[in-house]
Structure 1
C-alpha cells in the first residue's frame, strides 16, 4: 500500500538525498571545527571540506572554485548580488532592469533599492512567459548597471533565453545577474557559455540541506565588484562575513556532485512522469497548462482548473497530494499569482491554478495514484 500524502512540491524544497546526509553527519560530531580556525587540525579539516565542496559546486556550473561565495540561501545571495552591485557601481549608474515575473527575493530587493534612489525598470513578459529581447534591449539606458533575469521561473518553469540576454548585456557593457535557484542541478547551467556575471542558487532545491546557498561572482572578463552587506571578519573574500556552515556546505557540495552525475537521468525521468500527469489532466474538462510548454523545466507543470474555487481545490488536493497554488495567500485575501497575471492569465483562472513539481524520488505509482485522486476530487467538487 502506497503511503499518502504524495509529495509533488519539489520546487518548494527537496528531501535531502541519503548520500548527502551521510556526507554531512561527521561534520556535526567528529570533524566539527570552524573553517576559519587556522591553527589546529580541527580547523584544517573543516577548511579542507569547504574547499572540496566549493570545487564540487563550481564544477556543476562550470565556474572556478574561487568564484563561489557561500551564503545562508538563495534569498541572501540575491540580496548580496543586487545591493552589492548597486553600491559598487554607483558612480557608473543607478538603473536596474528586471522582469515582472521574478521571484519575490528579486522584486522585494529591487523595491528596497528604489527607496535608496535606484531606478528600476520592471519589464513585462509575453504570454508564454519569455521576455521580448527587443524590449529588453530598448530598456537599456546610459546609466544602466545591471540586468536581472531569472534562469527558470519557480511557478511556471519557463526557461529564459539566458545566452541571448547576456549577449545583449555584454554588448551594452551592463552586468547580468540571474537567479538560477530552480535551474541549477535540474538542467545544464554553464556560466561561461551562458555569459552570466553573477548567479544565485541554493542547496535545498537540489536535495541538499536548507540554510546554505551560493553566489557565483565572475572574477574575469569582467571582474565583478561586490560591496559586502554583512561585516565582521572578512570571510568569503570579504563579501560575506560569518562562520561558515560547514556541514551544510559539505552537503551542498555532495548534492552538486550527485546532480552533475545523474542530471540527465533525473531530467528524463521527471519529464516522463510530468508528461504522463499532464496528459491525464488535459483529458479533464477545463484544464489549461500555463506558460510555455516548449521552454520550461522538465519537472514542472502549472495547471489551471477552470470554474473551480482555488482555495477549496488546494485544500482538497492537499489532503492526499502536497502541491502549491499559483496564488499567494496574504492575510485573509487570496491574491492571484503575480507570475500568472504577468502572462495574461485571468484572475479566476489564476486563482484556480496548481503547481505540480516532481523530483528524483517521485515514482510512477505516485503519479498514477495522484491522477486517480485528482479525478475523484474534481468529480466531487462543484463548479462555479
Structure 2
C-alpha cells in the first residue's frame, strides 16, 4: 500500500502545502479543490469517498461550494479541521485510490478567481521600497515620512479590479503630465508592476479592533502572490493630496492557488528590528514571530530580473489586520490586503521596475538586448514564490502572470 502524498506529491505541492483553488473541467461547474503535486482534488468528491468524521456541518457544507467563500465565512473552526483532515487523507496508506478518483490533472482544469473579494486594502510595508520611492520622488527630504515607522501606511482600493492570474492587462488611460508639468489625457507611458504578497481574511469581526494575536490565529486564512499593476505617471499626477486612485485601480492580479497560512508555520521569522517601541495594538511579539520567509521571483519575457525577499517587510500581516480594524471597522469574509511592493537591500531584490531602473534613468539591459524601464505592450510579467515548509519541504505559490495589451 502507499499514500496519495507519495504517489502524487511533488516538490512544492506536497502534503505540507495543499493550497486551495476554484476550478472547473471542460466547461463544467466550478468546484473547490486542493492541489497535490500535479493533481487538483475535488474536496466534495473526496469527502463522499472517505467520509468526514472530523468536520462539522459548516465545514461539510463549505467544501461543496464553487470557491472559498463559504469556508471563509465558516471561520477558523472550520478551515483548521478541514486542513487536518485533508493532510490525514493524503498521508494515510491505502487511500490513494480514493484520492485518485477525485483528482484531475492540473493541466486539464480551468482555474477561476478563488474567492469573492469583499474589501481590498493595499499597504506600503517594505522599508526598502518606501525608501527608494522617497529618494526618487523627494530627493531633498527624508525618504520616509514621519509616520511610516509608527503605523502601516495603506489605502483602500477597488475590490472589483482584483483579477485572476492570466488575465491580460490593457494599458490604462488617465491624466499624465508632460515634462513641463502640463497634463493631457492618454495611455500611461510609465506602466509598472508591484511584486507583493496578498493576504486572504476569513471569519467575521463586526466590532472591529482585532488584536495581532487574534488576527494570526483566527483571521489570516491564506496567502497569494499579488501584482498590483501601477501607472506611475497617472499616479504621480493624482496622488497629492488624497493618495493614489486611477493610477492603481485598473488591475491587480492574484495567483490562483491560495496557500493556507497554517502551511507557513516553518516560514515564520522575526521581522526587521524596530528602532522604537510600537503602539500597543501593533505589538506583534505575542505568539510571534510573524514575519514570513517567502522568496519571490520577478520574470519578464522569460528572464528573471529580481528576487524580492518578503522576510524584509517591516510590518507583518497580523499587524496590518490589527491596523485596518483598530478604528472599529469590521472584518468580513473575503477581505483582502496587499503587503505593498516587496523590495530588499540589493538592486536585484527590488520588486518594481521604477526601482530596478531608478525612475527610468538606469535601464536594465535584458538578455534579448531590450533596455527595460517601464512596460511595453506585449510584455509578459510572471511572479513566483517559495517558502520553507514542514519536514524540510518547499511551499510553492505557483505563478501570477499578466501580459500588457495596447490601450483600447
TM-score range, shorter chain: under 0.3
**Alignment TM-score, normalising by the size of structure 1:** 0.25
**Alignment TM-score, normalising by the size of structure 2:** 0.24
Q: When you count strand as a share of all residues, which structure comes out higher? A: 2
